Chain A
Amino acid sequence: MSDDSKLIRMASQMAQFFASQPDRPAAEAVAAHINDSWTPRMRQAFVDQIRAGVQADPVVRDAAGFVRLPAG
Chain B
Amino acid sequence: MKDFIIPDRDMGTPAVKSDVAVNLLVDGISVSVPAGTSVMRAAAVAGISVPRLCATDHLEAFGSCRLCVVQIDGMRGLPASCTTPVAEGMVVRTQTDEVAQVRKGVMELYISDHPLDCLTCAANGDCELQDMAGAVGLREVRYEPGANHFARRDAEGPNPEYRPKDQSNPYFTFDPAKCIVCSRCVRACEEVQGTFALTIEGRGFDSRVSAGMESDSFLSSDCVSCGACVQVCPTATLIENSVIQIGTPEHIVKTTCAYCGVGCSFDAHMRGEEVVRMVPSKDGKANHGHSCVKGRFAWGYATHRERQTQPMVRERITNPWRVVTWDEALDFAATRLRQAQADFGRDSIGVITSSRCTNEETYLVQKLARAVFGNNNTDTCARVCHSPTGYGLKTTFGTSAGTHDFDSVDDTDLALVIGANPTDAHPVFGSRMRKRLREGAGLIALDPREIDLLKTPHMGESLHLPLRPGTNVAVLTALAHVIVSERLYDEAFIRSRCDWDEFLAYAEFLLDPRHAPEAVETLARVPAELIRKAARAYAAAPRASIYYGLGVTEHSQGSTTVMAIANLAMMTGNIGKPGTGVNPLRGQNNVQGSCDMGSFPHEYPGYRHVSDPETRAIYERAWGVELSPEPGLRIPNMFDEALAGRFRGLYCQGEDIVQSDPDTRHVTAALAAMDIVIVQDLFLNETSNYAHVFLPGSSFLEKDGTFTNAERRINMVRRAMTPKNGYEDWQVTQLLANRMGAAWSYTHPREIMAEIAMTTPSFAGVSYDLLEREGSVQWPCNGQAPLGTPVMHIDGFVRGKGRFVHTEYIATEERTGARFPLLLTTGRILSQYNVGAQTRRTGNSVWHPEDILEIHPSDAENRGVRDGDLVRLASRAGETTLRAHITERVAPGVVYTTFHHPTTQANVVTTDNSDWATNCPEFKVTAVQVSPSNGPSEWQEEYRHHSDLARRILPTAAE
Q: Which residues of A contact B (CB under 8 A)?
A: 1-4, 6, 10, 13-14, 16-17, 20-22, 33, 36-42, 70
CB contacts (< 8 Å) of A4 on chain B: these are 644
Least CB distance from B202 to A in Å reads: 63
Q: Are A39 and B632 in contact (CB under 8 A)?
A: yes
State which residues 904-950 of B face A: CB under 8 Å: 912, 914, 916-919
Q: Are A33 and B917 in contact (CB under 8 A)?
A: yes
Least CB distance from A17 to B in Å reads: 5
What separation, in Å, do the CA atoms of A53 and B632 have in the docked complex? 27
Q: Taking CB as reference atom, which chain B residue is nearest A18?
A: B916
Q: Are B919 and A36 in contact (CB under 8 A)?
A: no
CB contacts (< 8 Å) of A41 on chain B: these are 347, 646
Given the interface pairs A3-B643, A13-B556, the reply to whether A39 lies near B631 with Cβ below 8 Å is yes
Given the interface pairs A20-B808, A21-B805, A21-B806, the reply to whether A36 lies near B644 with Cβ below 8 Å is no
Q: Are A38 and B631 in contact (CB under 8 A)?
A: yes
Q: Are B602 and A36 in contact (CB under 8 A)?
A: yes
**B18 interface contact, C-beta 8 A:** no
Q: Are A10 and B919 in contact (CB under 8 A)?
A: yes
Q: Are A37 and B602 in contact (CB under 8 A)?
A: yes
**B560 interface contact, C-beta 8 A:** yes
CB contacts (< 8 Å) of A6 on chain B: these are 640, 912
Q: Which residues of B contact A (CB under 8 A)?
A: 347, 505, 509, 556, 560, 601-602, 609, 611, 630-634, 637, 640, 643-644, 646, 805-806, 808, 810, 912, 914, 916-919
Give the interface SS of chain A, mostly helix, strand, loop or mixed: helix
CB contacts (< 8 Å) of B634 on chain A: these are 37
CB contacts (< 8 Å) of A17 on chain B: these are 560, 808, 810, 916-917
What separation, in Å, do the CA atoms of A21 and B632 have in the docked complex? 27
Q: Are B630 and A39 in contact (CB under 8 A)?
A: yes
What separation, in Å, do the CA atoms of A4 and B644 have in the docked complex? 9
CB contacts (< 8 Å) of B916 on chain A: these are 10, 13-14, 16-17
Given the interface pairs A13-B556, A13-B916, A21-B805, the reply to whether A3 lies near B631 with Cβ below 8 Å is no
CB contacts (< 8 Å) of B810 on chain A: these are 16-17, 20
CB contacts (< 8 Å) of B640 on chain A: these are 3, 6
What separation, in Å, do the CA atoms of A51 and B611 have in the docked complex? 26
CB contacts (< 8 Å) of A33 on chain B: these are 917
What separation, in Å, do the CA atoms of A64 and B505 have in the docked complex? 28
CB contacts (< 8 Å) of B917 on chain A: these are 14, 17, 33
Can you report 7 residue pairs joining A to B where beta carbons are below 8 Å apart?
A: A4-B644, A6-B912, A17-B808, A21-B806, A37-B602, A37-B631, A37-B918
Contact of A20 among B601, B632, B637, B806 (CB under 8 A): B806
CB contacts (< 8 Å) of B560 on chain A: these are 17
Given contacts A20-B806, A37-B634, 9 further A-B contacts (CB under 8 A): A3-B644, A10-B919, A16-B916, A17-B808, A33-B917, A36-B631, A37-B601, A37-B631, A39-B601
What separation, in Å, do the CA atoms of A35 and B307 have in the docked complex? 43
Least CB distance from B595 to A in Å reads: 15
What separation, in Å, do the CA atoms of A69 and B825 have in the docked complex? 39
Least CB distance from A55 to B in Å reads: 16
Q: Are A39 and B633 in contact (CB under 8 A)?
A: yes
Q: Taking CB as reference atom, which chain B residue is nearest A33?
A: B917
Least CB distance from A43 to B in Å reads: 9
Q: Taking CB as reference atom, which chain B residue is nearest A45?
A: B644
- List the 7 shortest-distance A-B pairs measured between CB atoms, nearest first: A20-B808, A13-B916, A2-B644, A3-B640, A16-B810, A1-B643, A40-B630
CB contacts (< 8 Å) of A1 on chain B: these are 643-644
What separation, in Å, do the CA atoms of A42 and B509 have in the docked complex? 34
CB contacts (< 8 Å) of A42 on chain B: these are 637
CB contacts (< 8 Å) of A37 on chain B: these are 601-602, 631, 634, 918
Interface centre among B509, B633, B806, B916 (most CB of A within 10 A): B916
CB contacts (< 8 Å) of B643 on chain A: these are 1-3
Interface centre among B347, B646, B806 (most CB of A within 10 A): B806
CB contacts (< 8 Å) of A40 on chain B: these are 630
Least CB distance from B477 to A in Å reads: 11
What separation, in Å, do the CA atoms of A20 and B601 have in the docked complex? 27
Q: Taking CB as reference atom, which chain A residue is nearest B918?
A: A37
What separation, in Å, do the CA atoms of A20 and B805 have in the docked complex? 9
Contact of B637 among A2, A16, A39 (CB under 8 A): A39
What separation, in Å, do the CA atoms of A22 and B805 have in the docked complex? 9
What separation, in Å, do the CA atoms of A61 and B601 have in the docked complex? 26
What separation, in Å, do the CA atoms of A66 and B729 have in the docked complex? 43
Q: Taking CB as reference atom, which chain A residue is nearest B600?
A: A37
Least CB distance from A12 to B in Å reads: 9
Q: Taking CB as reference atom, which chain A residue is nearest B912?
A: A6
What separation, in Å, do the CA atoms of A42 and B808 have in the docked complex? 27
What separation, in Å, do the CA atoms of A2 and B810 have in the docked complex? 28
What separation, in Å, do the CA atoms of A25 and B914 have in the docked complex? 24
Least CB distance from B633 to A in Å reads: 6
Least CB distance from B947 to A in Å reads: 24
What separation, in Å, do the CA atoms of A42 and B647 have in the docked complex? 13
What separation, in Å, do the CA atoms of A22 and B509 have in the docked complex? 10
What separation, in Å, do the CA atoms of A16 and B806 have in the docked complex? 12
What separation, in Å, do the CA atoms of A21 and B909 have in the docked complex? 34
What separation, in Å, do the CA atoms of A17 and B806 have in the docked complex? 9
What separation, in Å, do the CA atoms of A52 and B556 have in the docked complex? 28
Q: Taking CB as reference atom, which chain A residue is nearest B810?
A: A16
What separation, in Å, do the CA atoms of A16 and B643 have in the docked complex? 28
